[in-house]
Amino acid sequence: MTDSMERESKLTVQELPSALEAILFAHGDPISVSRLCEITDMPKEVVEETLTRMMKEFETNPWGGLLIRKADDDYVMCTKPGLKPVLERMFAPKNRPPMSQATYETLAVIAYNQPVTRAQIEAVRGVSSDSIVTRLIERGFVEECGTLDAPGRPALFRTTQQFLLEFGISSVSEMPAMELMMYKTIRDLEDSLDDAAGNNDDRQISIENWMDGQKGDEET
């Protein structure tokens, strides 16, 4: 009886897309590939191939309001960015103050050099960034990810899955190498990702090459 029920409940490849769509919709939050494989009892390559196809179908469907996005090794179902004004009217959220130039700069420092400590962030920016890092954590763009093996064990910070979803990228490795302080707004960074995703060059500002530059200035 049990074997019969298992055979009846086992998904076919043809049924997998609808099953994955239902799981993503019901789960709400990002869910890992391994968990999706466990639930559907399907091989990882089959699940990933199906999700890739579904992502394209959702994106190109002019009548649909949903997308499937990948963030690292997790997948999530979300609404299309163009529907944000409609959803804002629906939920009528409280207005949050816009992010300042300093906040955008701090976010860029973390995104391009993660994981980083507060001291490393301040070394690049030249000013204290404690309150800004706290605000980025509150907004869900940044999180603590451990401590540095150094005196005092300072906390390390990195960007979150919410950051990836906000910019529509699957991984921070997709971020283009651009001048760090060119980004005055999140829209500037988002536009650069659209125009140059995957483009690697030597223009990225890192903590290491910034410090090297400082040393060179001191020697001069």
77 and 110 inside one domain: no
- The alpha helices in 61-160, defined as continuous H runs, are 84-91, 101-113, 118-125, 130-139
Contact 135, 98 (CB under 8 A): no
Structural domain harbouring 63: 2-86
pLDDT band at 8 (very low <50, low <70, confident <90, very high): low
- The domain tally of the chain equals 2
Contact 110, 121 (CB under 8 A): yes
The answer to whether residue 94 sits within a structural domain is no
The answer to whether residue 33 sits within a structural domain is yes
130 and 61 inside one domain: no
| Percent of the residues in the chain that have a pLDDT greater than 70, as a whole number | 73
3-state helix, strand, coil in the chain (%, to 5): 55, 10, 30
32 and 77 inside one domain: yes
The answer to whether residue 197 sits within a structural domain is yes
Please name every residue paired with 78 in a beta bridge, in sequence order, or none if there are none: 67
Q: What is the DSSP letter of 98?
A: P
Picking from 193, 190, 177, 206, the residue whose alpha carbon sits closest to that of residue 104 is 190
- Boundary (domain end) residue, out of 86, 116, 135: 86
pLDDT at 94: 58
Average pLDDT of the residues in 147-176: 83
| Percent of the residues in the chain that have a pLDDT greater than 90, as a whole number | 34
The answer to whether residue 200 sits within a structural domain is yes
The answer to whether residue 92 sits within a structural domain is no
Question: String of b and e for 189-206 (b: at least 16 CB within 10 Å)?
Answer: bbebbeeeeeeeeeeebe
**pLDDT tens-place string over residues 74-129:** 999 998 888 888 887 777 655 666 778 888 888 888 988 888 899 888 888 888 88
- Write the CATH number for 80: 1.10.10.10
- Boundary (domain end) residue, out of 29, 58, 86: 86
Rounded to the nearest integer, the mean pLDDT of the chain is: 78
Contact 147, 155 (CB under 8 A): yes
Q: pTM to 2 decimals? A: 0.53
DSSP letter for each residue of 158-213: EE-HHHHHHHT-S-GGGS----GGG-SSHHHHHHHHHHHTT---S----HHHHHHH
79 and 123 inside one domain: no
**pLDDT tens-place string over residues 10-23:** 889 999 999 999 99
Residues in the chain: 220
pLDDT at 38: 95
**pLDDT tens-place string over residues 41-70:** 999 999 999 999 999 999 999 999 999 999
pLDDT band at 173 (very low <50, low <70, confident <90, very high): confident
140 and 68 inside one domain: no
